[in-house]
Structure 1
Amino acid sequence: MRRRLIVSTLVLSIIAVTLLGVPLAIVASWLVLDETHRRVQRDADAVAAAVQIRNDQGERIDEADLTRVYENQHVTVRYPSGEVVRAGGGADGAQVRAQARTSDGALVIVSTPRSEVDRQQVSVVLLVVVIGVLAVAVTVGLAFLEARRLSLPLRDLADRADRLGSGDSLPARRRYGIAELDRVAEVLDNSATRVRTFLDAERAFATDASHQLRTPLTALSMRLEEIASSARSPEVVEEEVQAALAQVQRLAEVVEQLLAAARSGRDAELGPTDVDEVVDQQLAEWDTAFRRASRTLVREGDSGLRARASKANLSQVVATLLDNALVHGDGVTTVRMSATGQSIVVEVADEGAGVPAELVQRIFDRHVSGGDGTGLGLALARSLAEADGGRLTLARERPARFAVFLRPVRDEAPPHRVVGGPA
C-alpha cells in the first residue's frame, strides 16, 4: 500500500508540475524577451531625446557620451546630413533592435545581443525546473509520511484482527487520530469484548454441562452395574431398569435445560435487570460514534425501571437499535423508557427518512437490509428479546421508532437455577 501511494503521488505530482511548469516557462521566456524589447526601445527614445537636445543647442552628440551611458549596447545615430555616430560593441550576431527619430530627422538605432536575452530565458526556465523538482520532492516526502501514517495503523489493525481470529479477545483500546481508522479500531474493540463475552459464556456452559451431566451419568452407570451383577434375579433387574430409565429421563431434562440456556445466551434463570444501567451504559458507549457523525443521543422517560431479562441480551438489543439509528437514521436519536401495566418499554427513535414501505413487513427477516448491511442485526435482536420473554417491534415507520417490550419485575421470587442430580 505504501509503495502504491507513493508512486501514485509521484506520478500525479509530475503531471501537475508539468502541466503548470511548461506553460509557466513559456510565458516567463516570452516576458523576458518582451521586457528586453521594451528596455531597448526606452533606450532608443532616451538617445533620440538627448540627440534632439544637443541639436537644439547647436551641438552634436559624440561617441564618448554614448559609450559612457550605453557601454553594454550598440548605438547608431544617423543625421540627415549623412553623418553617422556609433558607440558600444559590435553588432555581430542576432540582435534585439529598436529605433527612434528626432524631430530633426536623425535616426537612432539601439541594439543588444540576443545571446544575453537567451541567457536570461535559460535562467528563468531553469528556475521553473528547480521549483518544479522541489515541489515534486516535497510532495513525495509528504506522501511518504502520510503513507507511513496510514500503513502503520493498518498493519496494527490487521495484527489485531488476526489475534482476534486466533482467540486473543483482549481489546487494545488504541486510537490513531484518523476518524475512519479509529472507527475500525472501535469496532474491533467492541468485537473483541463481545467475543470475550461469548468465550466466557461458552466456558461457563462447558463447565455447567460437565457438572450437571456428571451426576446423572454416574448414577446411570451405577444402575447398569447393578443390572449386570443381578442378571439372574428378574425382580432386581426390573427394579434397576426402572431406576436407570428414570436417570435417563433426568439426564434428558438436564440436556434440554442446558440447550435452552445456550440458545438464549443465559443460564437457566432470568434475574432482575436494572434497565437504567443497561441503557446508560449503551449511551455512553455509543456517544462518541454519534458525536463523530455530528449526531445527538438523548435519553428521556422514566427512571428506576427493572425488568426480568438478561443484561447481556438487553445490552445487545439496545446496541443493535442504536447502531441501526446511526447507520440508517438521521438527526437526534432518542432513547425513551416507560412502564405500562404489563411491560417495561425501551424505545429508540431517530429523525431520518424511516423504513422504506417495501421493507416494513420484512424488516426483522434475516438478510433483509435497507442499506449495505448484512440484514442480521434486527433479526438477532428480535431473537434475543424473545429469548428473554419479551418482544421487539417497529412502532413507527417514518421516522423509524423501534420498541422493546420486557417483562417487569414483580414481587414473586425469581426462579432458581436447575442443577442435575441423582433421582
Structure 2
Amino acid sequence: MRRRLLSSMLLVAVIAVLLLGVPLGVVVVRLIHDEASQELHSEATRLLIGVEYSISQEQSIDPKQLEKNYPDRYIQVFVQGTAPIAAGTAPPAHRQLTAEARSENGYVRISRDAAQVQQGVRARLVLIVALVLAALGVAVGLAIVTSLRLTLPLQDLARIAERLGSGDARPSRHRYGIPELNRVAEVLDRSAVRIAELLGREREFATDASHQLRTPLTGLNMRLEEIVAAAGEPAIVREEGEAAIVQVERLTAVIDELLAAARRQRHSQAEPIDVDQILDQQVTEWEPSFRRAQRSLKLVGSRGLRALATTGGLSQAISTLLENSLQHGGGTLTITTTSTEKSVVIEVADQGPGIPEELGTRVFERNVSGAGGTGLGLTLARSIVAADGGRLELIKRRPAIFAIFLRHVEDDGRYRVVSGPA
C-alpha cells in the first residue's frame, strides 16, 4: 500500500510540475526573443535619429564611433546626404538577428549574433529545470512523509489487532491525528475492553463455579459417609450409600479434570519467547507516559533471557504492573531481569510509598483496590501469569516490588499445575 500511495503521489506531482514547467519554458523563450528584437528595434530608431541629426548639422559620421557606441552590433546606414556606412562585424547569416528603422530620408539596419540570445535562453531554461527538479524533490519528500503518516498507523493497527487475537486484551489508546484512523483505533480499544471484560467474567465464572460445585459436593460426600456409617445392618442402604459416594467422587474428579484441562490448554500455548523483546516493547510504549509524569523508566539485569510464556499474556502482565506504578508509585521505575536455577525472574520496583498496611496480603484479591480502581488489574495479571505456568508475587511492600517467575525453556517437557488466585 505504501508503494502504491508513493507512486500515485509522485505521478500526480510529476504531471503538475510538467504542466507548469513546460508552458513556463515556452513563455520564457518567447519573452527573451521578443525582448532582444525590441532592443534591436529601439537601437535602430535611436541610431536613425542620431544620423539624421548629424547630417542636418553637416557633421560627418564616423563608423568607428558607431562601433564604439554599439558594441557587438553590425550597423548599416543608408540615408540621403551621406554615403552608405557599415560598422562592426557581420554575424553569420544563419545566426543573424536584424532590426530596421526607416524614415523618408532612408533607413538603418542593426544586426546581432543570435548565439548570444540563445545563450541567455539556455541559462533561463537551466534555471527552470533546476526549479522543476527542486519541486520534484520537495514533492518526493512530501509523498514519503505522507505515505509514512498513512501506512505506519495502519501497520500499528494491524499489530494491535493481532495482539488482540493472541489474547492480549488491553486497549492501546494510540491516536494518529487522522480522523478515520482514530475511529478505527477507538473501535479496537472498545473491542479490547469488551474482550477483557468477557475474559474476566469467564475466569470469574469458572472459578466461582468450581468453588460452588466443590462445596456442596464435599458436604454431600460427608453426609453419605455418615449414612453409610450409621446404616448398620441394612445392606441395601449401605450399598446405595457407597454407590452414591462413588458417584460424588467421580463428579469431583470430573471437575478437577476440567480445571486441569483448562490449565493444560493454556500451558500448551506457552512457548519459548524472548524476554528482552517483550520488555523493550513495553518500555518503548510506556516511557512517554512516565516522561510526562517526570519519572524515568530503567531496564537492568541479565539480557538475552528466554522463558516459557505467551507473548500476549506476559505483555499484559508487565503492562499492568507499569500502569499501577504510574498511577500509585513514584520515582524511578526499575525492571530487573535475572535467571535462577528454577525460574526466569522479572522484578518491577519503584521508589513510591508502596502498598498500604491494610492491603499488604490482599493486593491480589478480586475487587480490592486502595485508590478507587476496579481491583481487577493485579488479579487478572496474576491469573494470566499462572495460566502460563508462572507466578506473580509481591516480594516487598515498601517500596513495592513485584516479581514474575517464569519457567525455563528446558521445563517445556514437564507439566505442572500452577494455581492462580481463587
TM band (smaller chain): 0.5 to 0.7
Partner in structure 2 of residue 359 of structure 1: none
Cα 1:69–1:41 change in 2 (3 A) is: same
Post-superposition Cα deviations, 1:53-101, rounded to whole Å, max 9, x if no partner, equal 1122122322122112211111110123672111122232321111112
User: In 2, Cα distance between the equivalents of 1:132 and 1:103?
Assistant: 51
Supply the AA of the counterpart residue of 1:215: T
User: In 1, Cα distance between the equivalents of 2:188 and 2:30?
Assistant: 60
Partner in structure 2 of residue 234 of structure 1: 236
SS in 1 for 2:137: helix
SS in 2 for 1:169: coil
Partner in structure 1 of residue 100 of structure 2: 99
Cα 1:126–1:115 change in 2 (3 A) is: same
Unaligned stretches of 5+ in structure 2?
A: 253-422
Cα 1:62–1:82 change in 2 (3 A) is: closer
Conserved 8 A contact 2:76-2:87: yes
1:145 shift after superposition: 1.8
Aligned residue pairs total 248
SS in 2 for 1:91: coil
User: In 2, Cα distance between the equivalents of 1:58 and 1:199?
Assistant: 115
Does 1:83 pair with 2:109?
no
Supply the AA of the counterpart residue of 1:145: V
1:227 shift after superposition: 10
Conserved 8 A contact 1:223-1:244: no
SS in 1 for 2:34: helix
Partner in structure 2 of residue 187 of structure 1: 187
Q: Indicate the RMSD between aligned Cα atoms, in angstroms.
A: 3.4
Partner in structure 2 of residue 13 of structure 1: 13
Give the TM-score of the pair, scaled to structure 1. Answer: 0.52
1:175 shift after superposition: 2.1
User: In 2, Cα distance between the equivalents of 1:64 and 1:11?
Assistant: 59
Q: Does 222-231 or 120-129 show the bigger shift?
A: 222-231
Conserved 8 A contact 1:17-1:136: yes
Post-superposition Cα deviations, 1:19-52, rounded to whole Å, max 9, x if no partner, equal 2211211121111111111111111111111111
Supply the AA of the counterpart residue of 1:158: A
Conserved 8 A contact 2:224-2:244: no
Supply the AA of the counterpart residue of 2:5: L
User: In 2, Cα distance between the equivalents of 1:125 and 1:103?
Assistant: 42
Partner in structure 1 of residue 154 of structure 2: 154
Structural mapping, 1:306-321, within 5 Å: none
1:166 shift after superposition: 0.9
Partner in structure 2 of residue 137 of structure 1: 137
SS in 2 for 1:98: strand
User: In 2, Cα distance between the equivalents of 1:60 and 1:45?
Assistant: 19
Structural mapping, 1:323-342, within 5 Å: none
Post-superposition Cα deviations, 1:313-367, rounded to whole Å, max 9, x if no partner, equal xxxxxxxxxxxxxxxxxxxxxxxxxxxxxxxxxxxxxxxxxxxxxxxxxxxxxxx
Q: Does 34-43 or 226-235 show the bigger shift?
A: 226-235
1:2 shift after superposition: 2.8
Percent sequence identity is 42
Q: Does 166-175 or 2-11 show the bigger shift?
A: 2-11
User: In 2, Cα distance between the equivalents of 1:28 and 1:37?
Assistant: 14
Give the TM-score of the pair, scaled to structure 2. Answer: 0.52
Conserved 8 A contact 1:64-1:87: yes
Unaligned stretches of 5+ in structure 1?
A: 252-423
Partner in structure 2 of residue 126 of structure 1: 126
Supply the AA of the counterpart residue of 1:96: L
